Amino acid sequence: MRVSNWKDYELIDTSAGERLERWGKVILIRPDPQILWDTPKKNPLWEKADARYRRSSTGGGSWQELGRVPPVWSVRYGDLKFRLKTMGFKHTGIFPEQAVNWDLAMGLIQKANRSVRVLNLFGYTGAATLACLKAGAEVCHVDASKGMVAWARENAAESGLSNRPVRWLVDDCRKFVLREQRRGNKYDCIIMDPPSYGRGPGGEVWKLEEQIYTLISECVPLLSRDPLFFLVNSYTAGLSPAVMEYLLGVLVAKRFGGKLSSGEIGLPVTQSGLVLPCGGTAVWQAE
């Protein structure tokens, strides 16, 4: 399993459906459905957390402040800097396990030693976008949430990357991809981090495992003649990394050659010395 190497983030312990985490100097407890074990909570920080997210029996949940949590604070990953806050549905603004993919993208872009254009779909608060910008790429960042795109721009400013070549777009990702097809625009790299579940504009249910083939196939025409990589993330339990790798194989590798890889990504747990699985990634990359 691929794991990240953080200094400003630490997964201290896990037990009874919860994570005990350090984000900079802020200690949080958050729910996690993967944590099925009920091991003893020996670490004293379980009793000294600054905030805990509690789920509601009727759906959703809320943060319970136990100490002093800043309205906004920052953490660093290498040269990248991210603004965090306790937000709805237990999140803070970044997924720390994704740092392994930020490193992968940066390495491939730097190694290419040429001009590189990246399309980051479902870009959220921009961590992958920042990594690609830092590596020297030109990035098109797309997310349907105006607030998330604004947050991504703030993160770029925090990281000193505001002057890099980037387009910040608030748009439906699939509609944007279809328009880019008609425009004839091309990209050397595509990063796709779609949600597991959602609802369309007409209230229709959207499930990733039912849409992922269409999403990837519609992106393939946007690849340049000499593409560098195509990276797909998933937090959907029913969509394994191997399935995503197969999709990239039939849709991308058959056309461009190259090599495929996939696997789980995770976070090391300080207390146990084990690794918490945190989703999956599949990657196609040029030889």
CB–CB of 234/262 below 8 Å?
no
Task: List, for residues 41-61, the tens digit of each pLDDT value.
Answer: 999 999 999 999 998 877 789
Q: Which residues pair with 23 in a beta bridge?
A: 9, 26
Residue with tokens 């579940």: 197
Crossing angle of helices 173-183 and 208-219, in 10° steps, is: 20
Instruction: Report the helix count and the strand count for the chain, using DSSP H and E.
Output: 7, 17
* pLDDT in the model for residue 67: 92
* pLDDT in the model for residue 129: 98
C-alpha pair distances (Å), 94 with each of 16, 97, 178, 233 = 23, 9, 28, 14
Q: Pinpoint the alpha helices (H) of the chain.
A: 99-112, 127-134, 146-158, 173-183, 208-219, 241-248, 254-256
Question: Strand 51-55 vs strand 61-65: parallel, antiparallel, or unpaired?
Answer: antiparallel
Where is average pLDDT lowest: 14-18, 62-66, 203-207, 214-218?
Answer: 203-207
Task: List, for residues 147-179, the tens digit of each pLDDT value.
Answer: 999 999 999 999 999 999 999 999 999 999 999
* pLDDT in the model for residue 212: 92
* pLDDT in the model for residue 199: 61
Where is average pLDDT lowest: 32-46, 95-109, 122-136, 190-204?
Answer: 190-204
* pLDDT in the model for residue 209: 81
The residues, any chain, with a CB within 8 Å of residue 111's CB and separated by 6 or more, are none
* pLDDT in the model for residue 88: 81
Q: For residue 226, is pLDDT > 70?
A: yes
Q: For residue 3, is pLDDT > 70?
A: yes
Average pLDDT value for residue range 81-88: 94
Q: What is the Cα Rg of the chain in Å?
A: 19
Average pLDDT value for residue range 269-279: 96
Rounded to two decimals, the pTM is 0.94
Higher confidence at residue 60 or residue 206? 60
Q: CA 74, CA 154: separation in Å to the nearest integer? A: 11
* pLDDT in the model for residue 151: 98
40-69: b or e for each residue (b if 16 or more CB lie within 10 Å)? ebeeebbeebbbbbeeeeeeebebeeeeeb
